[in-house]
Amino acid sequence: MRSRSLAGLILCLWSLPAAAEIKMIGKPKVGFDADGSAGLDIAATAAPDGFSVKEENGKVIFTIKMTSIDTGIELRNHHMCDKFAECEKYPTATLTIDRSKLPIPTTEEKKVSIPGTFNAHGVDQPTTVDMTVKPAKNGWEIDGSFKFNTTNQGIAIPNYLGVTVYPDMVGHAKFTLVDV
């Protein structure tokens, strides 16, 4: 009797589903903020189809296509991509966190600070992601931000006709995740 119970338990445990994979739904709002000399303020946004979320080997990877970023002025986009971020050589930037640190699933709102790795211009840099996870009608709404420094990413400090963009910037994203 005891051996049959044990076998049954093993069978049950064997057939338990793996932790559900997460997937993004809907249109994300993604961008970064930068400032500079003389009060320069850049509120850059990324096209929704330039942002993706993937779960892989215990990590969650947020990826942004560099060419999807709009700083508000076409010439500035061109300078950013061609002269500084070298988008042809480094077409994406990624932010990677441990899946285990992402508080999904959850039935209540949670504010967390998660260590992560930001990769841009081919350089990995540690960062901290401040995130609010809120249960939504479908899945969970994520609102997160993190700081990065473009000099640390190996990017030269942009200067155009005497106006400098400071290297300390903030990336931010709002999107919805579901279990699949």
Partner 1 sequence: MSLLVALLWLLVGPAHAHSWMIREGYATCAECHLDPSGGGLLTDYGRAQSEILMRMPYEDRAPDWEPGKTKDFLWGAVPLPDWLELGGASRSAYLLQKSGPPDVNTHRFIQMQADLRAHLKIDHFRAYGSLALAEEGARGALITSAPDMNIVSREHWLGYDLNDHMLVRAGRMPLPYGLRVEEHTLLARKATQVDINDRQQVGAAWAYNGKVVRTEVMGIAGNFSVSPDDYRERGGTGFVEWLPFSRGAFGVSALAAHANVDPEFLVERTRQAYGVTARYSPVEQIVVYGEGDFLVEDRDSDNFTGNTGFVAVDYQIVQGLHLKGTGEWLSYSIDTQADTVGAWGTVQWFFAPHADIRVDVIQRSANTPSTGLKVDTTTGLGQLHFYL
User: Among 105, 143, 164, 170, which residue sits at the site for partner 1 (rule: CB under 8 A)?
Assistant: 164
Nearer Cβ to partner 1, position 93 or 169?
169
- Contact segment (CB under 8 A) with partner 1 among 16-24, 50-58, 71-79, 104-112 equals 71-79
Shortest gap between Cβ of 20 and partner 1 (angstroms)?
Answer: 37
Of 97, 112, 90, nearest to 62 by C-alpha is 97
Amino acid 51 reads F
SS3 15: helix
Shortest gap between Cβ of 164 and partner 1 (angstroms)?
Answer: 7
Q: Is 161 in the site for partner 1 (CB under 8 A)?
A: yes
Nearer Cβ to partner 1, position 72 or 115?
72
Nearer Cβ to partner 1, position 12 or 38?
38
Nearer Cβ to partner 1, position 80 or 93?
80
Residue 161 to residues 48, 77, 157, Cα–Cα distance (Å): 32, 16, 13
Nearer Cβ to partner 1, position 7 or 157?
157
Q: Is 61 in the site for partner 1 (CB under 8 A)?
A: no
Q: Is 72 in the site for partner 1 (CB under 8 A)?
A: yes
User: Among 6, 9, 10, 37, which residue sits at the site for partner 1 (rule: CB under 8 A)?
Assistant: 37
CA pair distance 78, 74, nearest whole angstrom:
6
157: tokens are 């400090």
Dihedral sign for Cα 150, 33, 125, 57, please: negative
Dihedral sign for Cα 93, 148, 145, 174, please: negative
